[in-house]
């Protein structure tokens, strides 16, 4: 007859510890020049759609040789960056930027403006960035206006359809 293994009387307990840590902090944004550049661009333009911001950053990298860590893929000739989208989500999460309810465009919050005042880019980088943005601004914003216009027209057709 087979013998049963001896059982030990010691019990093990499993303890679950939950440690709450923020996904991101404003301190991390202070140390990341790309996020500071994004905040500066949004502040300078006041409002911009996420798609136009993608186009603008892509153009800044390709045409004006502005340094960013973002890599882009072209989908139907439209630049898209996963890293840039993640940074935008992070800035939204931290409350430094917000999405306008009506136009669904990005803009700085009051705390974002205050944060940017306390954590400015160095003067040389700031001037180069703003100069490059100004040179590309009309091109990017005209594309945005065309997209807005066609979206409004499509919404209008849906509204009055019977």
Quick one: which of 159, 129, 28 has its CA closest to 87?
28
Res 5: pLDDT? 57
Tokens of 102: 């009506």
Q: Residue 11 — pLDDT band, cuts 50, 70, 90?
A: low
Instruction: Summarize pLDDT for 85-139 with one digit per residue, the tens.
Output: 999 999 999 999 999 887 789 999 999 999 999 999 999 999 999 999 999 988 8
* Cα separation, 83 vs 106, whole angstroms: 17
Cα→Cα distances 101→15, 49, 105, 109, 123, Å: 44, 12, 8, 13, 33
CATH architecture label of 26-156? Orthogonal Bundle (1.10)
Work out the mean pLDDT of the chain and round it to a whole number. 85
Domain boundaries, the chain: 26-156
Cα→Cα distances 129→26, 92, 98, 157, 161, Å: 22, 22, 22, 40, 46
Note if the pTM is more than 0.85.
no
Q: Residue 142 — pLDDT band, cuts 50, 70, 90?
A: confident
Instruction: Summarize pLDDT for 19-48 with one digit per residue, the tens.
Output: 665 568 889 899 999 999 999 999 999 999
Res 117: pLDDT? 95
Residues contacting 50, CB < 8 A, separation 6+: 85, 88, 106
């Amino acid at each position: 007859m087979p013998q049963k293994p001896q059982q030990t009387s010691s019990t093990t307990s499993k303890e679950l510890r939950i440690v709450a840590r923020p996904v991101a902090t404003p301190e991390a944004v202070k140390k990341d020049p790309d996020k500071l550049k994004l905040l500066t661009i949004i502040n300078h333009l006041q409002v911009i759609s996420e798609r136009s911001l993608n186009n603008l950053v892509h153009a800044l990298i390709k045409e004006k040789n502005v340094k960013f860590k973002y890599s882009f893929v072209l989908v139907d000739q439209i630049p898209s960056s996963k890293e840039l989208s993640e940074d935008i989500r992070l800035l939204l999460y931290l409350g430094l930027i917000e999405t306008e309810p009506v136009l669904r465009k990005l803009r700085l919050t009051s705390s974002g403006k205050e944060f940017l005042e306390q954590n400015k880019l160095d003067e040389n980088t700031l001037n180069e960035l703003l100069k490059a943005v100004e040179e590309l601004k009309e091109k990017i914003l005209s594309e945005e206006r065309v997209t807005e216009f066609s979206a409004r027209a499509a919404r209008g057709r849906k509204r009055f359809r019977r």
